[in-house]
Structure 1
Amino acid sequence: MTSNNNRVAIVTGGSRGIGRAVAERLVADGQHVVIAYAGNETAAKATVGAIENAGGHGVAVRADVADEAAVTALFDTAEQRFGGVDVVVNAAGIMILKPIVDLDLDEFDRMHRTNVRGTFVVAREAAGRLRPGGTLINFSTSVTRAKLPTYAAYAASKAAVEALGPILAKELRGRDITVNTVAPGPTATELFLKDKSDELIKTIAGQNPMGRLGRGEDIAEVVSLLAGAGRWINGQTLFVNGGAF
């Protein structure tokens, strides 16, 4: 495996939230990072600026993760800019919370397009282009185990992601490439905090044995392990939630 100073990572959803924390941590580990973002150019530029201010190398690429041509172009950019791809982190995702009876099928399709198709498209490209010693890290959620009302469609989309990982790990036998899935619990990001009252957030934090919500850095720490020294972890889903579920 090449040293971190020569390694190149693609982080989808890397402009905000957990994705940004992951991108910044991988840069701190010495990797060059290509951030894929869906539409918020301002946030993407801010993340690249933070990376460069920290002495790292990063570039932002607008890409719809569910679009095959866009994902191909994303990998092309990483190879042209930095020489190859060693780490792919599939952090892009959307969450729509409603009871099953109230969820519009257009909302269902939009969520699954990003969370399931998007993960699959990026994973397929990664399978063909990761260098030996590389790793693919997909993102699920601890909600797949919590079985909370209003989370059914979201949890179903992430359960599909969990199913993909161990199968792809076996299909890549002999390539020296690991495939794992990280499943965060409640984490203080814009995606999680949206439309939740302060009282509800306090309640959720208090239910955790650690007495708080997760932080982006908590999740990034695990990604850093999987993207670096954790080579004997393969085909697994790691629940990173402070013991919440």
Structure 2
Amino acid sequence: MDLRYTEEQEILRQTARDFLATECPKTLVRELEQSERGYSPELWKKMAELGWMGLIIPEEYEGIGYTFQDLAVLLEEMGRNILPGPFVATITSTFPILEAGTEEQKKELLPKIAQGELILTTALLESDGVFDASGIAVKATPKGDDFIINGTKLFVDVAHVASRIICVTRTKEGTAPEKGITLFIVESTTPGISCEVMPTTAQDKLCEVRLENVSVARKNVLGKIDEGWPIVEMMLRKGAIA
């Protein structure tokens, strides 16, 4: 097995290293850690212009169409510079759209993600703090053409600046924990959503997200109703590498 970088990966690595050394010095990292937003919109825009937000998004959706291995090269350089901000949350939340999104969802969201116009995050953990289906208690109840979501999510990365939240909910009781899980793409400005940054020793922007009678259209279901847990597992596997 050849573990060496390809020529394209080496160019990506060196470009990222040079860019971050100039645009994200340690002084800026410390400043952003203490700031309310936790990231620089100006730096975010420059990263988008380099194509980083669209790295794994197919060209048909205005991305670059690189592989997950290429993304890992970029993430390594970001980690080397301790880059703060919503990149990892956004990319991790892009995976389920690529994997399970409808064509309508892909056409609406992926070009905007690639252009840096949308920040995404995923609301998974709750009071139990466990990364398995048994910890999902936030309920989504059908009501006409919509679902009504109620409950609280914890440790939601950069939710305070996210445009969309992928919310992992329980839509069916009385089955195995992995059954009855449904994902929704929720606009962060939807009435009934409130968000507060949680105090952490690392100064990262993990948030408590409260959902009170939040109405979400059925068209915003990501994947199939009651069958969302495999999507979460895929996201967790890739997110662990990210």
Q: TM-score, normalised by structure 2?
A: 0.28
Q: Which has the higher contact order (CA 8 A, sep 6+)?
A: 1
Larger radius of gyration: 2
Q: Considering fraction of residues, name the structure with more strand.
A: 2
Q: Considering fraction of residues, name the structure with more helix.
A: 1
Q: TM-score, normalised by structure 1?
A: 0.28
